[in-house]
Chain A
Amino acid sequence: MNSVLRIEGLYKTYPGSSSPALANASMEVRAGEVVSIIGASGAGKTTLMRCINRMVEPDAGAVFIEGTEITQLRDSELRNARRRIGMVFQHFNLVNRLTVMQNVLHGRLGYMNSLDGVMGRYSEDDKLRALNLLRETGLEEYAYKRAGELSGGQKQRVGIVRAVMQKPAVMLCDEPIASLDPANSRVIMDLICELAKQGNIGCLVNLHQVEVAMEFSDRIIGMKKGYIVYDGTTSALTDQKLEYIYDKPMHLLTIRSEVAQDG
Chain B
Amino acid sequence: MAKSNESSISTGRTPIAHPDDRRNVLVFALTVGILFTFATWYTGFNPFTSLLEMSEFGRFITQDFLPPRVTNMPGIMAAMMQTIYLALAASGTAMVLSLLWSFCGSTAVIRNKSILTLARSLASVIRNIPALIWTYILVFSFGIGTHAGYLALTLSSTGFLTRSFMETLDEVAAENLEALRATGASTPAVIAQAIIPAAMPGLVSWFLYSVELNIRTSTILGLVGAGGVGLLMMTYIKQFNYAEASFVIFVVAVATIVVNLLIDIIRKKVLA
Interface residue ranges, A against B (CB under 8 Å)? 53, 55, 76, 78-87, 89, 91, 93-98, 102, 106-107, 109-112, 114, 117-120, 159, 162-163, 166
Contact = CB atoms under 8 A, between A and B. Distances in A.
Interface of B: 175-176, 178-186, 188-194, 197-198, 200-201
Contact of A109 (B176, B193, B198): B193
B184 A82 contact: yes
Contacts of A111: 184
Given A82-B184, A109-B186, 14 more contacts: A79-B186, A85-B184, A87-B183, A93-B176, A106-B180, A107-B183, A109-B180, A109-B190, A110-B184, A114-B186, A117-B185, A118-B193, A162-B183, A163-B183
A98 B179 contact: no
A112 B180 CA distance: 13
A184 B29 CA distance: 52
Nearest to A96: B198
18 contacts: A79-B184, A79-B185, A82-B182, A82-B184, A83-B184, A86-B182, A91-B175, A93-B179, A95-B194, A102-B197, A106-B183, A109-B180, A109-B183, A109-B184, A109-B186, A111-B184, A117-B188, A163-B183
A82 B181 contact: yes
A87 B179 contact: yes
A55 B183 contact: no
A223 B243 CA distance: 82
Contacts, number: 91
Contacts of B191: 118
A168 B252 CA distance: 61
Nearest to B177: A93
A118 B189 CA distance: 4
B197 to A, nearest CB: 5
Contact of A118 (B180, B181, B192, B198): B192
A82 B261 CA distance: 49
A109 B185 contact: yes
Contacts of B198: 95-98
A89 B178 CA distance: 10
Contact of B181 (A55, A76, A91): A55
Contacts of A55: 178, 181-182
Contacts of B186: 76, 79, 109, 114, 117
A110 B183 contact: yes
B188 A82 contact: no
Contacts of B188: 114, 117-118
Scoring A114, A118, A163 by chain B CB atoms within 10 A of each residue's CB, the highest score goes to A118
Contacts of B189: 109, 112, 114, 117-118
